[in-house]
Amino acid sequence: MSYRYSVGNFVLSKDELLKTQKEEYETILCLSITKWIHLNWGDDGLKRFFRRIFLALKPGGVFILEPQAWPSYAKKKKMTETTYRNFYKIEFKPHDFKRFLLKDVGFSTCEVIGTPVNQSKGFRRQLLMFKKLNRRPADAQIAQSIELNHKDSSSQSSLESSNPPASLHCLEHKEATKWKDRQWKEDKTNL
Ligand SMILES: C[S@@+](CC[C@H](N)C(=O)[O-])C[C@H]1O[C@@H](n2cnc3c(N)ncnc32)[C@H](O)[C@@H]1O
């Protein structure tokens, strides 16, 4: 096993640079970080940060997120002029992160893996685990055409069924997104 330790700003300066990101990690942890990114780089910076994380994960990779709650932002807003300005412009709140990561960024699932026990109430934050699909889109398309070739024309599409498809991996991205959309509406879990 090899280790690499690097320090740097993970927020790219513009969206165009996202295409340069390679799939290089199996797991990315983001513990007590979102508030700082958010206050310093605003909604656009945090969204770009999340998109970069997705792109940096290998297929099948996981993203562990521990977001700070919105009420804790106010205490830190006066750190710099930038944080102060950004604080008042924030529209993308922590309770929106899960939806954004699943619907817009492309993670396939999210589960709460626990809430640490801590004497301080402020540190009892949920740990969320997002998963990136195992297959690359090209693989999924090949799998889908194989599936369609074998499908009985009278059989009901997995999207029409109320049960989740046996494997999301075998669905083309557009179909998978539709299925996730419906899953999202059914999901009553709030952050
Ligand atoms: C409260 S510390 C949390 C450290 C560690 N994750 C933990 O849970 O103990 C916040 C961390 O966010 C990192 N951070 C803030 N803005 C960042 C950015 N733009 N790019 C990369 N790291 C950033 C800081 O370097 C700092 O280590």
Domain range list for the chain? 12-132, 135-191
The DSSP element (H or E) to which 173 belongs, if any, is: helix 173-186
- CA of 171 relative to ligand 1 center, distance in Å: 36
Q: What is the pLDDT of residue 142?
A: 55
Residue 115, ligand 1, Cβ within 6 A: no
- CA of 180 relative to ligand 1 center, distance in Å: 31
Q: What is the pLDDT of residue 124?
A: 85
Residue 33 CA, closest ligand 1 atom number: 12
What single letter denotes the amino acid at residue 148? L
- CA of 133 relative to ligand 1 center, distance in Å: 26
Count the Cβ atoms, other than its own, within 10 Å of residue 93: 14
Q: What is the pLDDT of residue 164?
A: 36
Residue 187 backbone zone (phi > 0: left; psi -120 to 50: alpha; other: beta): beta
CA distance 8 to 161: 46
For the chain, 191 residues long, give each residue's pLDDT as a single digit of tens. 777 788 999 999 999 999 999 999 999 999 999 999 999 999 999 999 999 999 999 999 999 999 999 999 999 999 999 999 999 999 999 999 999 999 999 999 999 998 888 888 778 899 999 999 987 655 555 555 555 555 544 443 333 333 333 333 333 344 445 544 554 554 444 34
CATH number of this structure's domain 12-132, picked from the four choices 3.40.50.150, 1.10.260.30, 2.60.120.10, 1.20.1580.10? 3.40.50.150
CA distance 144 to 132: 18
Question: Two tokens at 47?
Answer: 């969204």
* 103 DSSP 8-state letter: I
Residue 45 CA, closest ligand 1 atom number: 19
Q: What is the pTM of this model?
A: 0.74
**Helix ranges (DSSP H) in 24-91:** 34-56, 81-89
Residue 64, ligand 1, Cβ within 6 A: no
Question: Which residue's C-alpha comes closest to atom 6 of ligand 1?
Answer: 31
Residue 37 CA, closest ligand 1 atom number: 16
Distances (CA, A) of 74 to 70, 79, 135, 190: 8, 10, 41, 21
